[in-house]
Amino acid sequence: MSENNTAVQEKEQQTSQKLVKFEIHRQDTPDSKPYWEKFEVPYRMNMNVISALMEIRRNPVNAEGKKTTPVSWDMNCLEEVCGACSMVINGRPRQSCTALVDQFTQPIRLEPMRTFPVVRDLIVDRDFMFDSLKKIKAWIPIDGTYDLGEGPRMPERKRQWAYELSKCMTCGVCLEACPNVNDKTNFIGPALLSQVRLFNTHPTGAMNKDERLEALMQDGGIAECGNSQNCVVACPKGIPLTTSIAAMNRATSVQLFKNFFGSDHMVD
């Protein structure tokens, strides 16, 4: 056996003996008391947090060697596209599918996002965010005009930056990072403000521009933003959220004047 093969085998043996330590914040039901539970998972090269959770699910034994219930979490695409696997890892909200264990100090602490109600363990109920999408009319209504053929096209430059806004996964990470999204406010959060900008930019979507801006001018809208700028740092897709917030601040101000001068106070 060559020296190279021996070295490779020794390295693989050392890797197989290495353990990754986790501390997971668990909660059995929405109303039950949360608790911490420790786990140790055999290390593998390029292992991500999801892989570790799958190993715990396969063999649900905690660090004390006691049999326990499998940890519950959300996942889907495993490519940082769907946004389902959001959780707080070592104090920072992010996608667990792209979180490699080698990036973190141990023990790696996993917690659910606290902006949303906990369903079980690391699973949260994000209905608040999806209901907010309904408030801002985050779609382009079909009213029969599609029968007229292709609509107006966006200039290429505008299309490129609109594409950046369309990368939003509705993952909730920016809401978790925002100090103004909490149980004392109705703030819909930075992702939703950016979505208004996206749909109002679309040539057909602009037909409902006023309705979306009116929604942002209501309770929980853009006035609740404290401009902490945590959102743009936390966003896993690098969406220019603060730029969108600034644009929507200007747009709602214009809408306010438009509403006023469009009323009986309008002067010839």
Buried b (16+ CB within 10 A) or exposed e, 41-58: bebeeebbbbbbbebbee
Distance CA 243, CA 235 (A): 13
Total residues belonging to the chain = 268
Distance CA 95, CA 118 (A): 17
Report the sign of the C-alpha dihedral through residues 24, 28, 32, 37, in that order. Answer: negative
pTM (predicted TM-score): 0.86
Using CB atoms within 10 A of its CB, is residue 242 exposed (0-12), middle (13-18) or buried (19+)?
buried
pLDDT at position 20 is 97
pLDDT at position 5 is 57
Structure confidence by residue, pLDDT tens digits, 109-168:
999 999 999 999 999 999 999 999 999 999 887 777 667 777 788 889 999 999 999 999
- In 136-182, alpha helices (H): 156-165, 173-177
Whether the per-residue pLDDT at 255 is higher than 50: the answer is yes
Integer-rounded Cα Rg, in Å, for the chain is 24
The structural domains of the chain, ordered by start, are: 3-124 (3.10.20.30), 127-261 (1.10.1060.10)
- List the structure tokens of 181: 């999204």
